[in-house]
Structure 1
């Protein structure tokens, strides 16, 4: 009898083989959500297929992501500064990709802080592990997540950040729920994504990014977060940066 192994399972095994220091969901104290949701829950089926491919070339994608002509890369230092992260805090970069914000976050939290570099692409997690080790960033912990969960321990983060990644949340309600659980009470969620305005935005943005800022804000507030502010960061023109807070229990 031939046993067919799902490609996603193969990818996870590959990531663990390549990334012995990347934490699994069980190591982090959060189980994988059940995968029995109806297919209609996906807001954009297949949006992440290329990142789950076994032959994904992380260095090729680094060339696309890590260039000064890319607005989100060029403003990385200013964006992290605008978030006013304090030394010793724990930050999760959800959708860390090839590590565009790895150094700014590591510098912001300091040696006594922690940076969870979270991604669902095993090849990206491997690259994040290698970069952190090569650069001596002991505060960085690579994390392999799933399409439905960020796979972080409950109340482990002061700040969760994602850059040009929200539109890649295939199951936003489930992913937002896991982010909510991962944040400490009073913790912040910062979302940087493309402005999507018909007649203004490029054809690529209109075709690739499923939701504009108003819809993104409504979805995040529906997940239980309170909107705080939109930050004005020099250099951000095609992107916006909005910040939310997980409510803290009333004293």
Structure 2
């Protein structure tokens, strides 16, 4: 690894620390804020075998390692792909907060949870700067193919740090962004690669504690602990 590559995460962390109010990806969530958002269309996009995280959803849930009684947050829950499996994993004494910026997605998740008799699921509408969760309310936060949608990552991570209990964990799954390897979609849609995102998370008060490498190919799967 070159000296330049070693300095990239540090540069990203410093830049991140000074990016107080500027959106890192203006407009990336506009389509989800549309009150006419059609959940059915997004369900077809999100819940299809051609999408790696859908195809490997059972392995992902298992690798997260939830235990009965835990409280966790499914950040950017979308159509609820992982919400109900998480609900089953934490059991009736646990709790799942399905957090999303799109009101229509949350209504859809509420309906799915009601149909499945998943009374341990609560939907939470977040803002571009906050996950809107109570302080020290969760043991684990799960962010899957969503972090690159954080317009204000510093503020959002600060709110997430506050929502986690001391020693709580954050699971980050996102697209590998490698020039010459990743698809044109990923290169254009995802603003930065794994090193930059990890640097932003650690700059927000988290410590990297591990990486799962045998489940996904197009995405990376990293674990952090709240300091």
Q: Which runs of 5+ in 1 are unaligned?
A: 1-37
What count of residue pairs does the alignment treat as equivalent?
209
CA shift for structure 1 position 74: 1.3
Task: Tell me what 1:46 maps to.
Answer: 27
Where in structure 2 are there 5+ consecutive unaligned residues?
1-18
Contact 2:31 2:37 (8 Å CA) reproduced: yes
Preserved CA contact (<8 Å) 1:82 1:233? no
State the alpha-carbon separation in 2 of the partners of residues 39 and 154 from structure 1. Answer: 22
Match of 2:108 in 1: 127
Contact 2:21 2:152 in 1 (8 A): no
Give me the whole-angstrom Cα distance separating, in 2, the residues matched to 1:69 and 1:110: 30
- TM-score scaled by length of structure 2: 0.90
Number of the residue aligned with 1:230: 211
CA distance in 1 between partners of 2:164 and 2:120 (Å): 18
Residue by residue over 1:187-225, the C-alpha shift from the partner in whole angstroms, topping out at 9 and shown as x without a partner, is 000011000000100010000000100000000000010
Cα separation, partners in 2 of 1:166 and 1:138, compared to 1, 3 Å: same
1:94 to 67, 75, 80: 75
Q: How many angstroms apart in 2 are the aligned matches of 1:82 and 1:39?
A: 34
Does 2:160 align with 1:179? Answer: yes
Distance 2:164 2:122 in 1: 16
1:242 aligned residue? 222
Distance 2:54 2:201 in 1: 24
Runs (4+) off by over 6 Å: none
User: 1:139 and 1:186 mapped to 2: Cα distance?
Assistant: 23
Contact 2:20–2:154 (8 Å) recurs in 1: no
Q: Tell me the residue number matched to 1:137.
A: 118
CA contact (8 A) 1:161 1:189 kept: yes
- In the other structure, the counterpart of 2:195 is 214
Matches within 5 A, 1:57-68: 57-68=38-49
Structure 1 position 40, deviation (Å)? 5.6
Assess if the C-alpha contact under 8 Å between 2:70 and 2:139 holds in 1.
yes
In structure 2, distance between residues paired with 1:39 and 1:217: 18
CA deviation after TM superposition for structure 1 residue 67, in Å? 1.1
Change (3 A) 1:129 1:233: farther
| Secondary structure of the structure 1 residue equivalent to 2:213 | coil
Deviation at 1:77, TM superposition (A): 1.4
- The Cα shift of 1:233 comes to 3.7
* Mapped partners of 1:186, 1:39: distance in 2: 26
With normalisation by structure 1, the TM-score equals 0.81
Question: Kindly tell me: are residues 39 and 176 of structure 1, through their superposed partners in 2, closer, same or farther at Cα, counting changes over 3 Å?
Answer: closer
Q: What residue in structure 2 maps to residue 202 of structure 1?
A: 183
Aligned partner of 1:111 in structure 2 is 92
Could you tell me how far 1:84 is from its partner in structure 2? 1.2
Measure the CA separation in 1 of the matches of 2:125 and 2:182.
32
